[in-house]
Amino acid sequence: DWNPGNVIAEQVERIRAQVGDARVICALSGGVDSSVAAALVQRAVGDQLTCVFVDHGLLRSGEAEQVEKDFVAATGVQLKVVDARERFLHALAGHTDPETKRKIIGREFIRVFEDAAREVVADAGEHGTEVKFLVQGTLYPDVVESGGGEGAANIKSHHNVGGLPDDLQFQLVEPLRALFKDEVRAVGLELGVPEPIVWRQPFPGPGLGIRIIGEVTQERLDVLRAADLIARDELTKAGLDRDIWQCPVVLLADVRSVGVQGDGRTYGHPIVLRPVSSEDAMTADWTRLPYDVLATISTRITNEVPEVNRVVLDVTSKPPGTIEWE
């Protein structure tokens, strides 16, 4: 019988055998996979592991805190936080093309992570140990997919921690390689990973950067973050989180429409809700959310976020639409 306790016991032994007393590094994104992989490695080798969290400023409300406080408190991992928010904003300034934005975010991420990894190596050097291993939250479907070839992955340039520089030669530790997502969640719960992380819906590496249609600026990020928080809040209250695959909330930053509020005319931006149902994100259907939930989300966003005067629902399946708008 499959049970998470057995998987943990088996992986702890394997990880110990693989890494010995070498140092290990892991890039935490706040997502399920990297968090559970890190928690498992921490369980196996404790402080030999250093996690690096690059705060690119493109996360949703509360997500950086979930990593920096809740995850650390629950697992005891050693965490190095790099505040790269200004750097990402600067790099993204003036860019509106979706693929360009994705490439910039991917490139900056790798650079910041490299620098952090070098620092961890240097610090470890003083104590006479080497960093040799990099933890990756690769799941079984990722293994199958990367052997398989084309598909959605070629339509947009997905960013994950890929090509690292030659002078940082890591061997990979991939303790989730045999697991499916639901199994990873069970292992995470058993390891005490906080529930908001374990149950987090898929969220793209480039984050809110690809949910602002147009140039990414601090002001626009603040608007989108506020709207997204309301949508997530109401979906959770309605008990719908586990019925929906994910619900991107998108800001059409270069579009304005006329509205009326109180005594005055407004000229604000639309927010798009994109709730989808899916098995694997390769295809998806738009989720038929209850009208009263949609109404509450719309009323709250237009009341509470002054820059937004219209909320629209995306009723396109995938294909022809992709799940994200960029």
Between residues 14 and 318, which has the closer beta carbon with respect to ligand XMP?
318
CB burial of residue 264 (10 Å; 0-12, 13-18, 19+): exposed
Neighbours of 33 (CB within 10 A): 21
| CB neighbourhood size of 227 (10 A) | 27
CB 205 within 8 A of CB 159: yes
Beta-sheet pairing, 285-286 with 131-135: unpaired
Nearer to ligand XMP, 43 or 225 (CB): 225
Judge contact between 241 and 233, C-beta under 8 A: no
Q: CB of 120: closest distance to ligand XMP in angstroms?
A: 23
Residues 5, 188 contacting (CB under 8 angstroms): no
Contact 135, 49 (CB under 8 A): yes
Binding site feature residues? 29-35
Nearer CB in complex with ligand XMP: 102/132: 102
Range 198-227, binding ligand XMP (CB under 6 A): 202, 204-206
Candidate ranges 10-18, 114-122, 156-164, 223-231; the one touching ligand XMP (CB under 6 A): 156-164
In the range 274-293, which residues lie near ligand XMP by CB under 6 A?
281
Q: Please pick, from the candidates 12, 74, 89, 152, the single residue that binds ligand XMP as defined by CB under 6 A.
A: 152
Q: What is the footprint of ligand XMP within residues 90-109 (CB under 6 A)?
A: none
* Whole-Å CA distances, 184 to 35, 62, 243: 10, 22, 18
Residue 201 Cβ vs ligand XMP, minimum distance, rounded to whole Å = 8
In whole angstroms, the minimum distance from the beta carbon of 29 to ligand XMP comes to 8
44 vs 231 by CB, closer to ligand XMP: 231
Nearest approach, Cβ of residue 290 and ligand XMP (Å): 23
Residue 270 makes contact with ligand XMP by CB under 6 A: no
Query: What is the secondary structure of 250-268 as a DSSP string?
Result: EEETT--EEEEETTEEEEE
Cis upstream peptide for 320 (omega within 30°): yes
Of residues 173 through 202, those in contact with ligand XMP by CB under 6 A are: 202
159 part of the interface to ligand XMP, by CB under 6 A: yes
Q: Which of 18, 48, 138, 246 binds ligand XMP (CB under 6 A)?
A: 246
Contact call for residue 158 and ligand XMP (CB under 6 A): yes
Q: Is the peptide bond before 206 cis (omega within 30 degrees of 0)?
A: no
Shortest Cβ distance from residue 205 to ligand XMP (Å)? 4
Residues of this chain, 26-85, that bind ligand XMP according to CB under 6 A: none
Site size toward ligand XMP (CB under 6 A) is 16
| Phi, psi torsion values for 311, nearest 5 degrees | -125, 125
Minimum distance of ligand XMP from residue 245's CB (angstroms): 7
The closest of 84, 90, 11 to 43, measured between CA atoms, is 11
* Comparison of 127 and 154: residue with beta carbon closer to ligand XMP: 154
Q: What's the closest the beta carbon of residue 92 comes to ligand XMP, in angstroms?
A: 15
Interface with ligand XMP (CB under 6 A), residue from 156, 177, 181, 256: 156
The rounded distance, in Å, linking the Cα atoms of 198 and 35 is: 8
How far apart CA 255 and CA 212 sit, in angstroms, is: 11
Helix (H, G, I), strand (E, B) or coil at 241: coil
Length of the chain: 326
List contacts with ligand XMP (CB under 6 A): 152, 155-156, 158-160, 202, 204-206, 246, 281, 318, 322-324
